[in-house]
Amino acid sequence: MKYDWNAPLKPDMKSNPIEESTVEQLTSDCFYPEDATLAELFSSAASLKTWGRANGQLVGTPHWIAVHRDTPLHTDPAYPRYSHQLIVRADDGFVLRGHDKIELPIKRGTLIRLDTHSPHQLFNREGKKGYYIGASMDMHEALPLKVVRPILMSYIRTAAFLTDEAKSLASKSAKR
């Protein structure tokens, strides 16, 4: 849900929704999506996609998140409050920021816990189209990054990326 930069925060919102972050060293056995694969995934105008949840469960299962371009300042009230993400690809210039516009530079290996019910924006400071790709796990409670790290690392090492579900998302979006 888009959120106006000039709107006051609601009592349960944080001006900076990035609650914890670190950068992990990702080794060569950790997935890195190439341009050709991403072009197939983003064959349509849709700039944000998620897929790969076990049994379609919204809470507590890792899944892929892929963004092509910026996002507006927004909140995600229909989803669990906390998104834990390990980034496998972030092109130059991407930052994550909240209502206060304090920026966290994003690169391969960035591991974050984000309060998605508070306003947040993925922004490319260089004004370019680019990719932000990661493994994500959404929870109703905030988990320490040391707890989610091994789960997300295992996911990016073993989960299929360009699945039939992902191809279906690309196809459906292209028909709109």
Architecture of the domain whose range is 18-175 = Sandwich (2.60)
Show pLDDT as tens, one digit a residue, over the chain (176 residues).
999 999 999 999 999 999 999 999 999 989 999 999 998 888 766 688 899 988 778 889 999 999 998 899 999 999 999 999 999 999 999 999 999 999 999 999 999 999 999 999 999 998 888 999 999 999 999 999 999 999 999 999 999 998 888 878 766 543 32
Q: In the prediction, which pLDDT does 171 show?
A: 62
Q: Map out the domains of the chain as residue ranges.
A: 18-175
Do 41 and 103 touch, CB atoms closer than 8 A?
no
